[in-house]
C-alpha cells in the first residue's frame, strides 16, 4: 500500500529514504499512515487525498490519547471529534474540531465525523508506542 501511495505522489512529505533504499518514518508519520490506511480500507474515505488530509489533521489528537502522561498534549485530549467535508469548490476539505457532538449540526451534505477515542481504540493494537521507536 505504501509503495502505491508513494508512486501516486501522496507521500512526498513522509519518511526519509536511507542509503540502503529503505524508508524510515517519524512517529507522527506512522500514526498518520495508520489512520489513512484505516479510513481507506474501511471505505470511510474513498479519496486518498482526503484520507491523507484527515489523517494528518487527526495525528496530534491520536498521539495525545496514546501518550496520556505527556502534559503538553492535554489540550488535544479535550477535543473529542473531527468533522470533515468538501468545500463548495469540491477540491478542498474543511476540517473542524469539537469537544462534544451534543449540539452537532451541519448545513452541508456529506460530512464525516471521527471520534478520536473510537479511532484510537480501533487502531491501538497496530500502533507503535513512542518508546518502541
Q: What does the pLDDT look like over 76-124, one tens digit per residue?
A: 999 999 988 887 776 778 888 888 876 556 656 678 888 999 999 999 8
- Whole-structure pTM value: 0.81
In this structure, the number of other CB atoms found within 10 A of the CB of residue 79 comes to: 15
User: What integer pLDDT is reported at residue 94 of this predicted model?
Assistant: 85
The x, y and z cell numbers of residue 42, run together, are 474501511
Pairing of strands 23-24, 81-86: unpaired
Q: What does the pLDDT look like over 8-19, one tens digit per residue?
A: 888 888 889 899
pLDDT band at 65 (very low <50, low <70, confident <90, very high): very high
93 and 54 Cβ atoms separated by less than 8 Å: yes
Amino acid at each position: 500500500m505504501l509503495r502505491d501511495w508513494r508512486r501516486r505522489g501522496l507521500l512526498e512529505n513522509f519518511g526519509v529514504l536511507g542509503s540502503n533504499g529503505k524508508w524510515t518514518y517519524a512517529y507522527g508519520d506512522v500514526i498518520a499512515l495508520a489512520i489513512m490506511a484505516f479510513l481507506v480500507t474501511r471505505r470511510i474515505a474513498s479519496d486518498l487525498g482526503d484520507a491523507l488530509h484527515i489523517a494528518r489533521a487527526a495525528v496530534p489528537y491520536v498521539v495525545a490519547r496514546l501518550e496520556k502522561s505527556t502534559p503538553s498534549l492535554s489540550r488535544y485530549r479535550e477535543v473529542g471529534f473531527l468533522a470533515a467535508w468538501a468545500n463548495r469548490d469540491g477540491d478542498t476539505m474543511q476540517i473542524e474540531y469539537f469537544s462534544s457532538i451534543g449540539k452537532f449540526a451541519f448545513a452541508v451534505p456529506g460530512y464525516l465525523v471521527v471520534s478520536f477515542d473510537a479511532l484510537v481504540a480501533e487502531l491501538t493494537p497496530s500502533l507503535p508506542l513512542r518508546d518502541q521507536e
